[in-house]
Amino acid sequence: MAKGLPKRLPVAGVKQVIVVASGKGGVGKSTTAVNLALGIAAIKKSSDVGLLDADVYGPSIPRMMSLSGKPDLTAQNLMKPLVNFGIKCMSMGFLVDEKEPTVWRGLMVMSAIQSLLRKVAWGPLDYLVVDMPPGTGDTQLSITQSIEIAGAVIVSTPQDIALLDARKGAEMFRKVQVPVLGVVQNMSVYQCPKCGHIEHIFGKEGAKQLAEEMKLQILGDVPLHVSIRETSDTGQPVVVSQPDSPQAQAYISIAKKVLDSLPTPDDSLPNVKATPT
């Protein structure tokens, strides 16, 4: 770690942190993060999994996980995560009205991020999946430089414009010495439900080419399918509502590759205490 940068500390009660990121918004990052967390829980049935929505300006996890309401506090004055489908969740969306914009300057955002990381009773968790905000700015740096991260998952569509920013996102993690586990090629192909015709609406194999150039693995392809959008909007993610569908199985396959790519976890929880509010 370079001189002057904050020391990375584990998140209290969490064994491994996986961040899901993209250089650009609108590529399906939050949907991927939600279904990745649920996929890990489906594979590792005895494990405890959490999901942190770190997108302060545009939180999506409350709606996608069908959760609402303000979190309760523990006796230690820590926020209790809200739980659905067995996943512990925390989001700025639980603390502000869904229809109200978050009009904050950078320092307030940084403070909020640290509260979501350090002032939440996360533990015990085996895996914490973090839905990162898009881009490579202050929020991303604050997270990557302050906590220990087991690996990053990059989400992109095959479109050239999205790939430009996905490359920047992957390079950012490399610069701050966070392992990049691989790339998810989202909206890879559209298949007409009536005639079966396949169309590469956003381009063909663009993320795979990026992965080859950066010597990263492709974690999987996720098709452009109406059920993924519908189940996300209704708070019934496809991995739990349609577990046997090809769309859900695509996320399960990605979760398997992510788990296989993680370093061997320390069975003991980190000796770090959460900070009361």
Residue 189 has a pLDDT of 83
Integer Cα distance of 55 and 272 in angstroms: 24
- For residue 1, the model assigns a pLDDT of 47
CA angle 132, 90, 17 (to 5 degrees): 50
Residue range 70-105, pLDDT digits in tens = 999 999 999 999 999 999 999 999 988 777 777 677
Question: What is the per-residue pLDDT for 271?
Answer: 61
Mean pLDDT of 225-252: 95
Is a pLDDT exceeding 60 seen at residue 195? yes
**Residue 161: pLDDT over 70:** yes
Burial class of residue 185, CB neighbours in 10 A (0-12, 13-18, 19+): buried
d(CA 15, CA 24): 28
Task: Give yes or no for a contact between 241 and 231, defined as CB atoms under 8 angstroms apart.
Answer: yes
Please report the pLDDT score of residue 164 as a whole number.
86
User: Quick one: tokens of 25?
Assistant: 């918004």
Angle of the 138-146 helix axis to the 160-175 helix axis, nearest 10: 40
How large is the angle between the packed helices 29-43 and 226-233, nearest 10 degrees? 90
Mean pLDDT of 161-168: 86
The CA distance from 26 to 42, in Å, is 26
Q: Which of 79, 153, 92, 165 has its CA nearest to residue 118?
A: 79
**pLDDT, mean of residues 251-264:** 96
- pLDDT (tens digit per residue) in 108-139: 888 888 999 999 999 899 999 999 988 777 78
**How much is the pLDDT for 204?**
81
Beta carbons of 23 and 169 less than 8 angstroms apart: yes
Q: How far apart are CA 124 and CA 180, in angstroms?
A: 25
pLDDT band at 20 (very low <50, low <70, confident <90, very high): very high
Which residues, other chains included, contact 119 with Cβ-Cβ below 8 Å and sequence gap of 6+? 78, 79, 274, 275, 276, 277
Q: How much is the pLDDT for 219? A: 96
Q: Cα dist. 141→20, 32, 73, 129, 197 in Å? A: 14, 21, 28, 17, 43
* Beta strand extents in 111-216 (DSSP E only): 125-131, 151-156, 180-186, 190-191, 198-199
49-53, 57-61, 259-263: lowest mean pLDDT where?
57-61
Q: For residues 162 and 106, what is the distance between their CA atoms, to the nearest angstrom?
A: 25
pTM, two decimals, is 0.91
